[in-house]
A and B are shown apart, each in its own frame.
Chain A
Amino acid sequence: MDKRKSVWNVVPAGGVIGMVALVGIAMVPVLRPFLIYAALLVVAYTMYKYLVIIGEAEGRIKALKLPEKQIKVQPQGPSFQEVLRAIPDPVMIVAGIEPDDIAGRWIVFANTAAQGLFRMDGEGGLLVSTIRNPEVLECVDEALFGGISTSTFYDLAGGARDQIWRAYASPLPVTGPQRLALLTLRDETDARRMERMRADFLANASHELRTPLASLAGFIETLRGPAKDDEKAREKFLDIMATQAERMRRLIQDLLSLSRIELNEHVPPSGEADLTLAARDVVDSVSLMARDKGVSLIIRAPKPGLYPILGDRDQILQVVQNLVDNALKYAVRGSEVTVDIRYDLSLEQAVAGSNSGAARLVLLRPDRNVHDFYAQVTVRDAGPGIRREFLPRLAERFYRVEGQKSGDKLGTGLGLAIVKHIINRHRGGLVVESQSSVTSDAADVLERTPNEKVATLPAATPVTFTAFSACFPQARAYGLGADTPRLVISDGVSRDLKDAV
């Protein structure tokens, strides 16, 4: 403001002196040459002064938009910007002028960490286009216009890849119309996750362990009392007790592994793994069990050892293991369980199902624009299938599809939850497809209503199946066409492998 006023001070003052000089030129001829010089000097000085003031004002306006210039570089050594840029926590400097102009807050500086976190194009821009969380914006406003340092939790959601940050906003001392505030963020995901994990673990463990524990206690009671001397009953009861104890052990194991995976879910794995090898190892390890059940296991995949995917080998192995275990559990005697591995799929192809008629649901969708190519493993069984309305809850922990008996199927109800969390950590996707022989009630209604689509419904009971497709990002494209020779491994794993090679 004062600068603008001084423009008006300088211009009239110069003008008045100039006028006096002009009058002098007219009235006193003797002084004419001297006065002309004086007038020229005054005019020149006035113009110089005017330009300086205007220049300063413009500089000020520029500084408003990019006050970066105000955080002046030190004469020697690194500048403050460089120091700030090197800080691992996201740091931003926000400027604002009017409290009423709600969208008028600019980021005038953002360090490398902040740019990475918010995928910013440069160091500047409007604040709302980077952070739109109302609580954080409120904190910034308070720092800018209230001069108070505050902090708030900031959920940086990205699907289940939630990150919890704490945002600190504090005012920076500045004179002039625009105000500056420092916004720093600190990652508190780990601490919060730990907290939640502990609570979840306790809740789950106490809830799920109660049933087997009650059963154990009941048998112990019986063995001490009525069945004390009954040899046959004792044997039988001990068998049941061993099964229950085994179930408890597996449950705790699964819960622990789930907790571990959840804890690292926001950190993508850094290594590379081979999907085909992982699948082969899994099939090797369960082939005996499959033979006992009379189920044949078939892998169709390109040769192993050539096409790495981005992932943690142990965890990829666990995904395939859990999916195959699941398939074996529901496969009927004499049927096939197939493991198909394909590479070079686009995101759309990776989450698209294979069969058009079956119910399909994307349980987990990979982030767009992160990876270009995905490798997919599809495990398919010819079991009874899952009805469409049960699909959305599949990967929920401890969820059991209605009417499914768990007696002979030894599951903890955590297998798919583990699969989903691992895939989420790998930034991959999970799709389930299923055809069930039991049509849902809703479909019955449809069949009775005249509808052209009814004609397309298969008349006979369709072949039931359930297929889970997990996809993982590839390290790069491999250019594998559909006609790439595929390795088929079935039943007697090693022998057929030799034949195929």
Chain B
Amino acid sequence: MGAHIVKTYQEELDQLSAEVVLMGGLAEAQVADAVEAVARRDVGLAQSVVQRDHKLDELEKDVERKCIRLIALRQPMADDLRKTVAAMKLATSLERTGDLAKNIAKRAMVIAEAEPMTPLTRSIERMGKLVSSRLRDVLDAYKAGKLDLAQNVWASDTEVDEHYNSLFRELLTYMMGDPRTISACTHLLFMAKNLERIGDHATNMAEHIHYELTGEDYVEDRPKGNTLNSIE
């Protein structure tokens, strides 16, 4: 600890959100790398994703500690309190996102040993890109404190669901066609499910940002992609 910096309350709050953004960057990279590891059958990349996951866990703990400290020492009120609580919740969501990315990477290592199934991994890649972009949008919204950006993420959850359903169907067709692919397809199915859940986390985060900025919960129901028919 070299220099003395007089840390103000505001600085502490800023630092908290900066750390959450940092976590977000890490989570984003984890998801992107995990998906790339699937697409390129890159075992090395998958391994590094698995190894890097602990960083997110540590950061989450750190953010949580800082939040508790801030609540205890500064007793934040109103928007400061919401900011603190939102930071804690976002950190949890991001940590979960990282776990899901790690799981995708682990499965990537398994399917890299099986026969390549390019059309299917390409679908995973496409879905991964979509989910990554939602994660990016929600983090941008958090960083800039922009409500409309967060709402946009919140409202477009159906797209991920559509992709998931389409992929689900594709995988079923594959498995029915050739039972030897069942093992690999199951892994791909779980990957798709993980990606879908990362998308849900992005939606959750958008809700937390909404809460942070307005102090109100989302009262509407989530726009769920109706998986069974075309009624919207």
Choose, from A8-16, A219-227, A338-346, A386-394, the stretch at the interface: A386-394
Contacts of B229 in A (CB 8 A): 442-443, 446, 453, 457
CB under 8 Å from chain A, chain B span 50-64:
59
Choose, from A243-251, A294-302, A356-364, A409-417, the stretch at the interface: A356-364
Interface residues of A, CB < 8 Å — how many? Answer: 48
Contacts of A64 in B (CB 8 A): 3, 5
Instruction: Report the Cα distance A133→B26, complex, angstroms.
Output: 7
CB under 8 Å from chain B, chain A span 93-123:
97-98, 101-104
Residue of B nearest to A129 (CB): B143
Instruction: Report the Cα distance A132→B24, complex, angstroms.
Output: 7
Decide: B133 and A159 in contact? CB cutoff 8 A. Answer: yes
Task: Known A128-B21, A132-B25, A134-B29; judge A391-B166 contact (CB<8 A).
Answer: yes
Say yes or no: is B156 at the interface (Cβ < 8 Å to chain A). yes
| Interface residues as binary, A351-369 with B (CB distance below 8 Å gives 1, 0 otherwise) | 0000011111110010011
* Contact pick for B163, options A132, A369, A392, A445, CB 8 Å: A392
Contacts of B227 in A (CB 8 A): 442
* Contact pick for A392, options B1, B139, B162, CB 8 Å: B162
CB under 8 Å from chain A, chain B span 179-232:
227-232
Decide: A456 and B231 in contact? CB cutoff 8 A. Answer: yes
Decide: B126 and A98 in contact? CB cutoff 8 A. Answer: no
Say yes or no: is B84 at the interface (Cβ < 8 Å to chain A). no
Say yes or no: is B97 at the interface (Cβ < 8 Å to chain A). no
Instruction: Report the Cα distance A396→B3, complex, angstroms.
Output: 56
Nearest CB of chain B from residue A207's CB, rounded to whole Å: 10
Decide: B139 and A132 in contact? CB cutoff 8 A. Answer: yes
Say yes or no: is A284 at the interface (Cβ < 8 Å to chain B). no
Decide: A360 and B148 in contact? CB cutoff 8 A. Answer: no
Residue of A178, A393, A453 with most chain B CB atoms under a 10 A cut-off: A393
Task: Known A159-B133, A356-B232, A368-B148; judge A361-B162 contact (CB<8 A).
Answer: yes
Decide: B25 and A133 in contact? CB cutoff 8 A. Answer: yes
Say yes or no: is B132 at the interface (Cβ < 8 Å to chain A). yes
Instruction: Report the Cα distance A392→B156, complex, angstroms.
Output: 14
* Contact pick for B228, options A132, A177, A365, A442, CB 8 Å: A442
Task: Known A103-B18, A446-B229; judge A390-B24 contact (CB<8 A).
Answer: no
Say yes or no: is B99 at the interface (Cβ < 8 Å to chain A). no
Contacts of B1 in A (CB 8 A): 98
Contacts of A159 in B (CB 8 A): 133
Contacts of A456 in B (CB 8 A): 231
Say yes or no: is A155 at the interface (Cβ < 8 Å to chain B). yes
Contacts of B22 in A (CB 8 A): 102-103, 128, 132, 134, 137
Instruction: Report the Cα distance A339→B143, complex, angstroms.
Output: 41
Contacts of A369 in B (CB 8 A): 148-149
Task: Known A157-B132, A453-B229; judge A97-B2 contact (CB<8 A).
Answer: yes
Instruction: Report the Cα distance A133→B133, complex, angstroms.
Output: 14
Contacts of B123 in A (CB 8 A): 393
Say yes or no: is B32 at the interface (Cβ < 8 Å to chain A). yes
Say yes or no: is A135 at the interface (Cβ < 8 Å to chain B). yes
Contacts of A368 in B (CB 8 A): 148-149, 152
Residue of B nearest to A445 (CB): B228
Decide: B136 and A361 in contact? CB cutoff 8 A. Answer: no
Say yes or no: is B169 at the interface (Cβ < 8 Å to chain A). yes
Say yes or no: is A126 at the interface (Cβ < 8 Å to chain B). yes
Nearest CB of chain A from residue B159's CB, rounded to whole Å: 6
| Interface residues as binary, A423-467 with B (CB distance below 8 Å gives 1, 0 otherwise) | 000000000000100000011011000000100110000000000
* Contact pick for A134, options B3, B15, B26, B230, CB 8 Å: B26
Instruction: Report the Cα distance A356→B229, complex, angstroms.
Output: 12
Residue of A nearest to B155 (CB): A348
Contacts of B156 in A (CB 8 A): 362, 365
Decide: A361 and B159 in contact? CB cutoff 8 A. Answer: yes
Residue of B nearest to A393 (CB): B166
| Interface residues as binary, B1-30 with A (CB distance below 8 Å gives 1, 0 otherwise) | 111011000000011011101101110110
Decide: A104 and B15 in contact? CB cutoff 8 A. Answer: yes
Residue of B nearest to A127 (CB): B18
Task: Known A104-B15, A360-B232, A365-B156; judge A98-B149 contact (CB<8 A).
Answer: no
Nearest CB of chain B from residue A388's CB, rounded to whole Å: 6
Instruction: Report the Cα distance A228→B186, complex, angstroms.
Output: 53
Residue of A nearest to B227 (CB): A442
Contacts of A435 in B (CB 8 A): 230
Say yes or no: is B165 at the interface (Cβ < 8 Å to chain A). yes
Decide: B2 and A388 in contact? CB cutoff 8 A. Answer: no
Contacts of B129 in A (CB 8 A): 160
* Contact pick for A129, options B5, B21, B148, CB 8 Å: B21
Contacts of A178 in B (CB 8 A): 3
Nearest CB of chain B from residue A238's CB, rounded to whole Å: 35
| Interface residues as binary, B122-146 with A (CB distance below 8 Å gives 1, 0 otherwise) | 1100100100110010010001000
Nearest CB of chain B from residue A310's CB, rounded to whole Å: 22
Residue of B1, B17, B132, B228 with most chain A CB atoms under a 10 A cut-off: B228
* Contact pick for A390, options B136, B166, B232, CB 8 Å: B166
Q: Which 4 A-B residue pairings sit nearest by Cβ, starting from the closest? A: A132-B25, A103-B18, A177-B3, A446-B228
Task: Mark B residues whose CB is within 8 Å of A.
Answer: 1-3, 5-6, 14-15, 17-19, 21-22, 24-26, 28-29, 32, 59, 122-123, 126, 129, 132-133, 136, 139, 143, 148-149, 152, 156, 159, 162-163, 165-166, 169, 227-232
Beyond the given pairs A391-B162, A393-B126, 19 more chain A to chain B contacts, judged by CB atoms under 8 angstroms and listed by A's residue number, are A97-B3, A102-B19, A102-B22, A103-B19, A126-B18, A132-B25, A132-B26, A132-B139, A133-B28, A157-B136, A159-B133, A358-B230, A365-B156, A368-B148, A369-B148, A391-B166, A442-B228, A442-B229, A453-B231
A-B contact pairs, 30 of them (CB 8 A): A64-B3, A64-B5, A97-B3, A98-B2, A101-B15, A103-B19, A104-B15, A128-B21, A128-B25, A129-B17, A129-B21, A129-B143, A132-B21, A132-B22, A132-B26, A133-B25, A157-B32, A157-B136, A160-B129, A178-B3, A361-B159, A362-B159, A365-B156, A368-B148, A388-B230, A389-B166, A389-B169, A393-B123, A443-B229, A453-B231
